Amino acid sequence: MRRLLLTTLAVALLAGCATPRNNYDPLEPVNRETYAFNRALDRAILKPTATAYVEHVPQPVQKGVRNFFGNIDDFFSTFAALLQFKGTAAVHSGSRVLVNTTAGIGGLIDWGTGLGMRKGEEDFGQVLGFYGVPSGPYLMLPLYGPLTLRDTVEPIGRYFMGPLDFIDSDAWDVGYYSLYLVDSRSKILSLDTLLEGQPDEYAYIRDAYLQRRWASIHDGHPPYALPLGDVDDDGDEDNDFDPGPTDPPLAEAASDVAAAPVDEAASQPVTEAASVPVAATASEVAP
Amino acid sequence: MKRWIASLVIGLIPLFALAANDSPEQITRKVSDDVLAIIKSNEKDPTKVRDLVDARVAPLADYTRMTALAVGRYWRTATPEQQQALTREFRTMLVRTYLSALTVYKNAEVEVKGSRPGAGDDEQSVRTEVSLPGQKPIPVDFSFERTRQGWKVFDISVDGISFIVNNRNQFSAVIRKDGVDGLIKLLADRNNALKNGAAAK
């Protein structure tokens, strides 16, 4: 009996070891639990609140709230741009903060955009990325959402630099963060249909988040695509299979691309197929 | 009216004939103008927009390679019939999810920012920015490949998020669990649900 138990345990452990699917999400089991928790909370409270907010709160108020939080983003974005020596971006974001905080009554009105000051999207995670800090493991935080270990510097930095810390009131804090959550959620309500259609919401969000971060750190032009693949049987992440241009014959291309027959031979790149006979002839000719 | 249509059709023929020699950048410019025009003139009818845009972009998309890349290494294990079915369902999914939502972009502007070489001479990526009034422009990149019928698109990435990559892990998880047929069935079921959902509305 004991041996049976031990064997079962060993098998379970081995199975457990075999499950890490990739190198960039080592905490996947925990993350998935957190995601399920977040999603349940979202369905029960946050999403209904955000929907009601969008439907019932007057447009100008919603706009003011969004501008207000946007102004705070600009404040941090200015410092993040400076730390990356992005002078132009820092000037734009900095001027936005100056104009919108004063003339825009604490950020409620966005005059900056009309004056040609571009909104930046720098953050402290990108600063670390700029200096070559790797992203570290992917994290799914309760109530917060997706993040990587490196990018935790953003919420932590914001917490310590808080420009509104002079307001020392719990009621303010509760109001501030609740409104922040509702406003943030209302921005992405339209993505829900897309998300719910995915076979695996968790993986979809993770892969989208990591790719987007990778692109922002390189200001939209990453040197190569972020390798996001499951570890296969050899233990590497060689998940790609690229048949090259599939190039269906003209007649079929005109009627229906999707219905064009594709077999292994046809899906090979044309150049490769063409080079085979050439190589064969060459070896025959060569003595 | 009939003559008007006839002249329109005749006018379009050289356009399509020319398309084969266009550079990826030119193709992107033309197609985005056409797509925006379709959206503007049919903004009340998302289904019509979807079908018209689908017809416009179909000759320019290499759906088979798109699907193969999204399925990843399991593509090689699929039979030709399975590969065809996968391509068909993946394409339907892309059309139903993304093209049905285009009416939001009725006031959008597309700015083609230029192109850069991809992997090898036969690939190029065209960078664009899609902007809606009062919103930060979203970078949208199109990956083109050279085929015998001119340049075709095999991947699109929005704000750095590639269609292909974002489906790969999900698809391989399904294939590991239920096999290639499982994935075909899942996509088909979802496409049916989307169809019924659209019909119910």
Q: What is the interface pTM, i.e. ipTM, of the complex?
A: 0.78
Cα–Cα distance list, A157 to A108, A132, A150 (Å)? 23, 18, 12
> What pLDDT shows up at residue A262?
40
Of the partner residues B80, B127, B166, the one whose CB lies closest to the CB of residue A263: B80
CB-CB neighbors (< 8 A) of B63 in chain A: 257-258
Q: Do B64 and A220 touch (CB under 8 A)?
A: no
The identity of residue B120, as a single letter, is G
Q: Is the pLDDT of residue B201 over 60?
A: no
Average pLDDT over residues A183-207: 87
Q: How many domains does chain A have?
A: 1
Is residue A282 situated within a structural domain?
A: no
* Least-confidence region, from A54-63, A231-240, B138-147: A231-240
Average pLDDT over residues A48-69: 95
Mean pLDDT of chain A: 79
- With bands split at pLDDT 50, 70 and 90, how would you rate the model's confidence at A266? very low
Q: How many domains does chain B have?
A: 1
Q: How many whole angstroms separate alpha carbon A191 and alpha carbon A53?
A: 17
> What pLDDT shows up at residue B3?
62
Is residue A260 situated within a structural domain?
A: yes
Q: Do A263 and B186 touch (CB under 8 A)?
A: no
Each residue of A166-185: b (16+ CB within 10 Å) or e? Answer: eeeeeeeeeebeeeebbbeb
Average pLDDT over residues B169-179: 88
Residue A91 has φ and ψ, to the nearest 5°, of: -65, -45
In terms of phi and psi (left: phi > 0; alpha: psi -120 to 50; beta: otherwise), the region of A141 is beta
Average pLDDT over residues A88-102: 95
Q: How many whole angstroms separate alpha carbon B160 and alpha carbon B143?
A: 12
Kindly state whether B169 is in contact with chain A, defined as any CB-CB distance less than 8 angstroms. yes
* Least-confidence region, from A138-142, A280-284, B70-74, B153-157: A280-284
Kindly state whether A131 is in contact with chain B, defined as any CB-CB distance less than 8 angstroms. no
Q: Which of residues 78-97 of B touch A (CB under 8 A)?
A: 80, 83-84, 87-88, 91, 97
What is the domain range of residue A168?
Answer: 2-14+27-275
Is residue A243 situated within a structural domain?
A: yes
Is residue A285 situated within a structural domain?
A: no
- Which residues are paired to B112 by β-bridges? B128
CB-CB neighbors (< 8 A) of B154 in chain A: 245
What is the domain range of residue B170?
Answer: 2-200
Is residue A235 situated within a structural domain?
A: yes
Report whether B26 contacts B19 (CB < 8 A). Answer: no
Q: How many whole angstroms separate alpha carbon B22 and alpha carbon B33?
A: 15
Q: How many whole angstroms separate alpha carbon A42 and alpha carbon A48?
A: 8
Average pLDDT over residues A198-226: 88
Q: How many whole angstroms separate alpha carbon B18 and alpha carbon B22?
A: 7
Report whether A82 contacts A90 (CB < 8 A). Answer: yes
Average pLDDT over residues A106-126: 92
Got the DSSP string for chain A? -HHHHHHHHHHHHHHHHH----SS-TTHHHHHHHHHHHHHHIIIIIHHHHHHHHHHS-HHHHHHHHHHHHHHHHHHHHHHHHHTT-HHHHHHHHHHHHHHHHTTTTTTS--TTTTTPPPP---HHHHHHHTT----SEEEETTTEEEETGGGHHHHHHHHH-TTTT---HHHHHHHHHHHHHHHHHHTGGGHHHHHTSS-HHHHHHHHHHHHHHHHHTTT--SS--------TTSS-------------HHHHHH-TTTS---HHHHS-HHHHHHHHHHHHHHHH--
Q: Rounded to the nearest 10 degrees, what angle do helices A47-56 and A170-187 cross at?
A: 80
Q: Is the pLDDT of residue B16 over 70?
A: no
* Least-confidence region, from A258-262, B68-72, B154-158, B179-183: A258-262
* Least-confidence region, from A20-29, A53-62, B116-125, B153-162: A20-29
Q: Is the pLDDT of residue A255 over 60?
A: no
CATH number at residue B112: 3.10.450.710
Is residue A191 situated within a structural domain?
A: yes
Nearest-Cα distance to chain B for A41, in Å, is 24
